[in-house]
């Protein structure tokens, strides 16, 4: 396995040294998706691929995957700039790869060691639930987070997603093609989560709703997605601007459907 670590970065260049150091000894490609007017120094210890700026997570990742393939990589570890694999994590993910596997991921934990995600389950009626119990060994899951995700270097994310759910869409596509999506319960990656985009911001809510709707793909799921989003906002105590973000997300999704000629 020829592995390259691909780290997209939009603004948080201060986070990169930790992510790069945790990726050693594997080569790293940092995809610079920063706005053109944002001044910053190139990170040490990585090859830098520049986009035109603000393309979004999916397009930035795909640019990194193309660069990884050009370097001769067979596999790539997609890694958020606010994530750091624990010692031995990458080796464990690689060891779990086998014929018929399409994606492998670790437990995501916060800085206090609490489990953030042990994979996701996608219900038939549209709900997405993150598992938060560590399994014994390696298990099949419906989807994994792109915060730390081992895939083939030939894989590509759906660039119709803005920021969120593109990783779940990839996993669903892999499973539909007969490939397995595996969580390695003994591997961990520390994820600061929300360091790039605040989870309780209007923008984050907007992207979450539009991404969830795109993932499900059918108009009949609209009430489900909106209901789940509003319930989450209420459960977490706002702020109120997130309600506007829900409406923003519906508009984004609907505009995308119309541009695509979908009913």
Domain boundaries of the chain, sorted by first residue: 3-191, 202-256
Largest CA distance in the chain: 49
Instruction: Please report, in angstroms and rounded to a whole number, the separation of the first and last CA atoms in the chain.
Output: 43
Q: Which pLDDT band, with edges at 50, 70 and 90, does 262 fall under?
A: very low
Neighbouring CB atoms inside 10 A of 212's CB total: 23
Task: Specify whether domain 3-191 bears CATH 3.90.550.10.
Answer: yes
Query: What are the pLDDT digits (tens) for 149-203?
Result: 999 999 999 999 888 899 999 999 999 999 999 999 999 999 986 656 667 899 8
Query: What are the pLDDT digits (tens) for 57-102?
Result: 999 999 999 999 999 999 999 999 999 999 999 999 999 999 999 9
Query: What are the pLDDT digits (tens) for 235-251?
Result: 999 999 999 999 999 99
Averaged pLDDT score across all residues of the chain: 92
Residue 263, pLDDT score: 38
Residue 196, pLDDT score: 60
């Amino acid at each position: 396995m020829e592995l390259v670590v691909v780290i997209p970065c939009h603004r948080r260049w201060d986070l990169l040294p930790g992510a790069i150091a945790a990726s050693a000894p594997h080569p790293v490609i940092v995809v610079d998706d920063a706005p053109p007017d944002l001044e910053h120094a190139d990170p040490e210890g990585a090859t830098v691929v520049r986009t035109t700026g603000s393309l979004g997570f999916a397009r930035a990742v795909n640019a990194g995957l193309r660069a990884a393939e050009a370097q001769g990589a067979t596999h790539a570890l997609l890694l958020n700039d606010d994530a750091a694999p624990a010692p031995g994590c990458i080796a464990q993910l690689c060891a779990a790869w086998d014929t018929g596997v399409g994606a492998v991921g670790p437990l995501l934990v916060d800085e206090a060691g609490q489990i953030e995600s042990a994979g996701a389950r996608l219900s038939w009626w549209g709900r997405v639930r993150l598992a938060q119990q560590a399994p014994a060994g390696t298990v099949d899951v419906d989807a994994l987070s792109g915060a730390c995700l081992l895939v083939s270097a030939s894989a590509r994310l759906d660039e119709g997603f803005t920021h969120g759910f593109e990783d779940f869409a990839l996993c669903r596509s892999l499973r539909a093609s007969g490939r397995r999506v595996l969580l390695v319960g003994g591997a961990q990656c520390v994820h600061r989560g929300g360091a790039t985009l605040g989870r309780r911001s209007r923008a984050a809510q907007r992207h979450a709703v539009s991404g969830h709707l795109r993932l499900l793909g059918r108009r009949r799921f609209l009430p489900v997605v909106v209901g789940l989003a509003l319930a989450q906002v209420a459960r977490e105590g706002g702020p109120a601007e997130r309600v506007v973000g829900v409406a923003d997300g519906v508009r984004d999704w609907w505009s995308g459907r119309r541009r695509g000629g979908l009913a």
